[in-house]
Amino acid sequence: MKLFDVYPLNDISIVKALGAYVWDDKGEKYVDMYGGHAVISIGHTHPHYVQRLQDQLHKVGFYSNSIKIPLQVELAEKLGSVSGKNDYQLFLCNSGAEANENALKLASFYNGRKKIIAFKKAFHGRTSLAVAVTDNPNIVAPVNQTDNVIFLPFNDEVALEQAFQQHEISSVIIEGIQGVGGINIAADSFLQKIRSLCNEHNAVYIADSVQCGYGRSGQFYAHDHSGVQADIYTMAKGMGNGFPVAGISIAPKIQPKHFMLGTTFGGNHLACAAALAVLEIIEQDDLMTNAKNIGNYLMDELKKLPAIIEVRGRGLMIGIELPEHFKEVKKNLLFKHKIFTGEAKPNVIRLLPALNISKTEANIFLEAIKTELS
Ligand SMILES: Cc1ncc(COP(=O)(O)O)c(C=O)c1O
């Protein structure tokens, strides 16, 4: 059998990883400024993470959601305290798309409505509703098309108000910082406007924090910068440091009913152990402060480089927009300088490293990009 060829691949096989570094099968060492697409939050093969997963695997790896799993309760309590949302409720699932799917569905159960507001350049996943609220027609199959989604320009308060006047809105879904869309920050005033319109119309504010959450922006959720609370936060990538685990954090006003949501694998023992290990390290090593400090350092230094059109971001979620003629930079960073970065179109380099990188890795990256842009 062959693999179903959907990913354009770099000809590299990684066989070892530690902290902010990975090694290929030829022994070549790379700096990971991409974090495997914002997934590696506490660094590769962190000893506490490895130990906690190993210990759990020797006890019990999986049993279904038909029994009590005290680790889920422990995780909910830890997430509540680290994210500052102790009164919220946790539903565990397996991927970012599934988290958004459940959030949109829950919102519709809550207020009995169908219409969803999403934004231009948004990415929310590839499953049915998640892809329907994603602004990329190339990945929306005919079966996913629906009239229930209204796409509005990002950060446009007037368009938002008009949409609320014209339709009965069930929910508004928005990334605190658009990732795939090119690192675009939702204005604090825009998120405040979403909050007040959702309050006025009993609509549900869904904060997609799959990429920008889990401490990456320097606050637990990128939406926290605006000072308002969402009704549902969706999270995935950084949550398990590579172990597939996702969740939605749900405001107290939304009440559960048996069987309204469910999953076979979500919240299994191993997933909870991975997620707990991540939160323990984020808290113990104050990684949100580190993300803020190293992120600010990187952005300040990058802004000094005249060739760059714009540097956007918060914490360790950074976009570097380059002129068209620098389109080889990302490839050169990888193959000449041995540095992994992400990308977004058109010509934006995305930095999404582990939250505990140090100035050493930041400086290696800065030297390399300076060479490429000179
Ligand atoms: C903001 C955002 N939401 C949702 C998703 C989908 O997550 P997953 O690939 O785990 O389904 C992604 C993935 O890149 C994302 O960046």
Query: Domain map of the chain by residue range?
Result: 47-284, 286-346
Convert 36-60 to b/e letters by CB count within 10 Å (16 or more is b).
Answer: bebbbbbbbebeebeebbeebeeee
pTM of whole model > 0.95? Answer: yes
- Per the prediction, the chain carries an average pLDDT of 98
Same fold, 47-284 and 286-346: no
Side-chain-side CA neighbours of 30 within 13 Å: the count stands at 27
- The 10s digit of each residue's pLDDT in 230-288 is 999 999 999 999 999 999 999 999 999 999 999 999 999 999 999 999 999 999 999 99
Question: ∠ CA 68-95-123 to the nearest 5 degrees?
Answer: 145
Structure tokens at 329: 């930079």
Q: What is the distance between the alpha carbons of residues 79 and 17, in angstroms, rounded to a whole number?
A: 27
> Is residue 123 predicted with pLDDT exceeding 90?
yes
* Domain 47-284 belongs in CATH node 3.40.640.10: yes
For the CA of 100, the closest atom of ligand 1 is 4
- The 10s digit of each residue's pLDDT in 126-183 is 999 999 999 999 999 999 999 999 999 999 999 999 999 999 999 999 999 999 999 9
Mutate to test the pocket of ligand 1, among 237, 245, 317 (most ligand atoms within 8 A of CB): 237
**pLDDT given at position 42:** 98
178 in ligand 1 pocket by Cβ < 6 Å? no
Please give the CATH architecture assigned to the domain spanning 286-346. Answer: Alpha-Beta Complex (3.90)
Nearest C-alpha neighbor of 160 from the set 130, 192, 134: 192
Q: What is the distance between the alpha carbons of residues 355 and 362, in angstroms, rounded to a whole number?
A: 12
For the CA of 126, the closest atom of ligand 1 is 11
For the CA of 95, the closest atom of ligand 1 is 10
For the CA of 130, the closest atom of ligand 1 is 4
- DSSP H helices, the chain, are 35-38, 47-59, 70-83, 96-111, 128-132, 157-166, 188-201, 269-284, 287-302, 329-335, 359-373
**pLDDT given at position 345:** 83
Mean pLDDT for 36-40 is 97
211 in ligand 1 pocket by Cβ < 6 Å? yes
Q: What is the distance between the alpha carbons of residues 357 and 361, in angstroms, rounded to a whole number?
A: 6
**pLDDT given at position 346:** 84
> Is residue 201 predicted with pLDDT exceeding 90?
yes
Nearest C-alpha neighbor of 190 from the set 144, 238, 157, 150: 157
- The 10s digit of each residue's pLDDT in 302-353 is 999 999 999 999 999 999 999 999 999 999 999 999 999 999 988 999 999 9
180 in ligand 1 pocket by Cβ < 6 Å? yes
> Is residue 109 predicted with pLDDT exceeding 90?
yes
64 alpha carbon – ligand 1 mean position (Å): 25
213 in ligand 1 pocket by Cβ < 6 Å? no
